[in-house]
Amino acid sequence: MYLALSYDHRLIDGRESVGFLVTIKELLEDPTRLLLDV
């Protein structure tokens, strides 16, 4: 599955955007974490 994110580099640092995508990836790989809020 391909997931992309578009953002303005003037407002958001690349580190935050990558961290957000990593979190989304982890939640998609293990949906029980999302349901249990772990």
13 is catalytic: yes
- 26, 28, 33, 35: CA torsion to nearest 10: 160
CB 8 within 8 A of CB 18: no
8 is catalytic: no
Q: Choosing from 8, 13, 30, 37, which is the catalytic residue?
A: 13
Q: What is the DSSP letter of 12?
A: S
Q: Which residues are catalytic?
A: 9, 13
